[in-house]
Amino acid sequence: MFGELVAYLDSIKLRDPAPRTRWEILLYPGVLALGLHRVAHWLFRGEMYFLARLVNHISRFLTAIDIHPGARIGRHFFIDHGFTVIGETAVIGDNVTIYQCVTLGGTNPANGVAGKRHPTIEDDAIIGSGAQVLGPITVGRRSRIGANAVVTKDVPEGASMIGIPARATLVDATEYQKSFLPYGTSCAERCDPQAQSLEALRNEMEVLRGRLTSLIDERQAQHARQADGERSRA
């Protein structure tokens, strides 16, 4: 058990550049919330629902993180900061990272029967701060949910979701195969304002080049049709 705890703390240290020691990580609200959830989930599975809810209530009071005792959570789950809500039928895989103010929420069953109402988050997924993932959908392995995105449909494996409602942008293979980067992005490449401006100009030039090529092709086709018409009249 001690070895598993050390491995868990080390997995958080790899994803968060802030802590200097494992002792600091033990003070994280997400770590405490997950530990108390393990207890609450054990009670829930034993049908000791009141005690499970009591542990959940204490955890929410201490950490501002509300994880329903029925939620199933895999290994090395990390909630950075807090203010997160995870519903009863949520299923979370291994090495999942969630930032603050995230909701894994449910939908109201149309037939009134309580069933699978909350998302399934597969291994290595990253969910950005403020994101809302709603309903019995599946967030694919190694996918990324952008900050404040609202996701109500299945997310493909390796996709990035942005916007309201969220739309998918598939990342390329080299990006997909990278190991975890804190905050889900490479700051060296993407936090430089000049680099971002150059990239935006480059993208705009590509769009304009494509439009220009299309206009030239259309103009040439029009000239060809005119020439054919003149030859047929002659």
Q: Which residues pair with 177 in a beta bridge?
A: none
d(CA 36, CA 201): 50
Return the pLDDT at 189: 43
Is the whole model's pTM more than 0.85, yes or no? no
Return the pLDDT at 67: 95
Answer yes or no: do 222 and 169 share one domain. no
CB 87 within 8 A of CB 67: no
pLDDT digits (tens, 9 = 90+) for 11-68: 888 888 888 888 999 999 999 999 999 999 999 999 999 999 999 999 999 999 999 9
Among the listed residues 3, 60, 1, the one whose alpha carbon sits nearest the alpha carbon of residue 36: 60
> What total number of domains does the chain contain?
2
Return the pLDDT at 183: 52
Return the pLDDT at 184: 45
pLDDT digits (tens, 9 = 90+) for 137-179: 999 999 999 888 899 989 888 888 888 777 766 555 455 555 5
Block residue for tokens 């990390």? 78
Return the pLDDT at 173: 46
d(CA 88, CA 86): 7
* Amino acid (1-letter code) at residue 179: S
Between residues 73 and 218, the one the model is more confident about = 73
Among the listed residues 134, 139, 103, the one whose alpha carbon sits nearest the alpha carbon of residue 117: 134
Answer yes or no: do 225 and 156 share one domain. no
Answer yes or no: do 53 and 136 share one domain. yes
Answer yes or no: do 174 and 197 share one domain. no
Over 60: is that where the pLDDT of 71 sits? yes
Q: Which domain holds residue 24?
A: 2-184
Token pair for residue 42? 């054990």
